[in-house]
Amino acid sequence: MNALELTRALLRFNTINPPGEERACAQHLGRLLEDAGFTVRSYEYAAGRTSLVARLGGSTDRPPLCFAGHIDTVPLGATRWQRDPFAGETAGGRLYGRGSSDMKSGVAAFVTAACNLGARLHGTPGLALVIVAGEETGCDGSRHLTRTAGALGEAGAIVVAEPTGNHPCVGHKGALWLHGRTTGVTAHGSMPERGVNAVYKAARAVTLLERFTFDATPHLVLGAPTLNVGTITGGLNINSVPDAATVGIDLRTIPGQRHEEVRERLSRYLGGEVALTPVVDVEGVWTDPDHPWLQEVFDLATPFLGARPAVRAAPYFTDASLLTPAYGGPPTVILGPGELEQAHQTDEYCRIDCIEQAVELYEAIARRWCGV
């Protein structure tokens, strides 16, 4: 199987989320895995929102190694693309398309590696592949799998194939996205004194949010928690006093912070004018870089990187937020061929050589785990 051609095939499926519609893409991958001997189960959390769990091998001595990734992508954005985002065009050693880096190349690479090893996995701990829908809007597919009895099975370690340029990352921050809603009383725009302007309340809240500080010591690798105001909406027409406004707040947390406590502290800080409602709530992930398995991964990655990897963390959240605790907290590495800086970009691309290297690296990690 050729990982480049598989990535190109996956790019041709429009899985922009919303609406997602990952079913056809998932079915394509499912057929390939079944042909390689994997047992494949499909799970839908909504119509057309299909996730897969594929397994091959299994022993009583050790649980399987899990590879995980998502097949939904973000929208194209307002800027016109110079390349067809769904054609899988190649030029200058790059593969272009929406999802080429984030993260259909990663999924294609671990599916290719798994299929290449399929015939040798019987009687070994084996592999479990978790390919999910709906990651971009808060890990919806993974959340559904964790709530579905028997869907995930076991895993002794997890490789999440998000874009890292094939550099192992040992964790990532958590994400707590909130809507801060303010309310008022509507009135005619020529008589604002008869109303209560919700946008003014929201503006005061935004000013406060810019000055908010966390009561947390920065993490040695992940750094400090952050807050960003990403959206603000309010009012229905220009000549009325707006009676509702909403501020979109993006908090990124570090180990040791409990999201409920962060939300309560922020609510007290903003006061009674703002009601906070969670939109996305996913915890961070961190594995001690001295863990023996991570040291093995670092060893195996060294020839591909030209030097032993430094300890790094990913800036984004991943499905590991839900999968790692659901599997009981096994060591987890974020490791994929995509370009970190290309995620969600116009004319997104992935280096072709990184896709090919990822297949070799995934095979090496899987062979070491399974003893083949």
**Of the candidates 233, 258, 282, which is a domain's last residue?**
282
Select from 186, 321, 156, 341 the least CA-distant residue to 252. Answer: 321
The answer to whether residue 77 is domain-embedded is yes
Domain membership flag for residue 130: yes
pLDDT tens, the chain, 372 aa long: 899 999 999 999 999 999 999 999 999 999 999 999 999 999 999 999 999 999 999 988 999 999 999 999 999 999 999 999 999 999 999 999 999 999 999 999 999 999 999 999 999 999 999 999 999 999 999 999 999 999 999 999 999 999 999 999 999 999 999 999 999 999 999 999 999 999 999 999 999 999 999 989 999 999 999 999 999 999 999 999 999 999 999 999 999 899 999 999 999 999 999 999 999 999 999 999 999 999 999 999 999 999 999 999 999 999 999 999 999 999 999 999 999 999 999 999 999 999 999 999 999 999 999 999
Query: Is the CB of residue 118 less than 8 Å from the CB of residue 56?
Result: yes
Q: Where among 260, 282, 304 does a domain terminate?
A: 282
Is the same domain home to 254 and 326? no
- Per-residue confidence (pLDDT) for residue 1, from 0 to 100: 85
Cβ(338)–Cβ(105) below 8 Å: yes
Q: Residue 40 has what pLDDT? A: 98
Domain check: are 187 and 225 in the same one?
yes
Buried b (16+ CB within 10 A) or exposed e, 329-343: ebbbbbbbbbbbebb
Domain boundary among 224, 254, 282: 282
**Cα 10 from Cα 228, distance rounded (Å):** 33
Domain count, the chain: 2
The answer to whether residues 100 and 12 touch, using CB atoms and an 8 Å cutoff, is: no
Are 224 and 295 contained in the same domain? Answer: no
State the CATH number of the domain containing residue 122: 3.40.630.10
Sequence-ordered alpha helix ranges (H) in 122-213? 140-146, 198-210
pLDDT the model gives residue 235: 96
Comparing CA positions, the residue from 293, 325, 337, 62 lying closest to residue 170 is: 293
In a domain, 178, yes or no: no
Same domain, 203 and 321: no
The Cα 108–Cα 9 span in angstroms is: 9
Determine the structural domain holding residue 363 and report its residue range.
Answer: 3-172+284-370
Q: Are residues 276 and 288 in the same domain?
A: no
Q: Decide: 106 and 359 in contact? Cβ < 8 Å.
A: no
CATH of the domain at 198: 3.30.70.360
Q: Indicate whether 330 belongs to any domain.
A: yes
- Please write the tens of the pLDDT for every residue from 256-282: 899 999 999 999 999 999 999 999 999
Asked if residue 166 and residue 25 are part of one domain, the reply reads yes
Amino acid at residue number 186? T
Query: ∠ CA(253), CA(258), CA(263), 5° rounding?
Result: 80
In a domain, 27, yes or no: yes
Residue 365, pLDDT score:
98
Residue 293 pLDDT = 98
Asked if residue 219 and residue 359 are part of one domain, the reply reads no
Residue 192: alpha-carbon gap to chain centroid: 45
Q: Going by C-beta distance under 8 Å and a sequence separation of 6 or more, which residues neighbour residue 255?
A: 171, 219, 222, 284, 286
Q: What angle do CA 197, 201, 206 make, to 5 degrees?
A: 140
Residues 168 and 230 both lie in one domain: no
The answer to the question of residue 191 being in a domain is yes
Alpha carbon distance 16, 56 (integer Å): 30
Q: Write out the two tokens for 216.
A: 């947390």
Residue-wise pLDDT for 204-213, tens only, equals: 999 999 999 9
Q: Are residues 270 and 289 in the same domain?
A: no
pTM metric for this prediction: 0.95
H-helix or E-strand spanning residue 159 = strand 157-160
Same domain, 79 and 203: no
Question: Are 277 and 288 found together in one domain?
Answer: no
Please indicate, yes or no, if residue 177 is contained in any of the structural domains: no
**Is the domain of 166 the same as that of 47?**
yes
Q: Are 161 and 106 in contact (CB under 8 A)?
A: yes
**Residues 274, 198: Cα–Cα separation, whole Å:** 10
Q: What pLDDT sits at residue 263?
A: 97
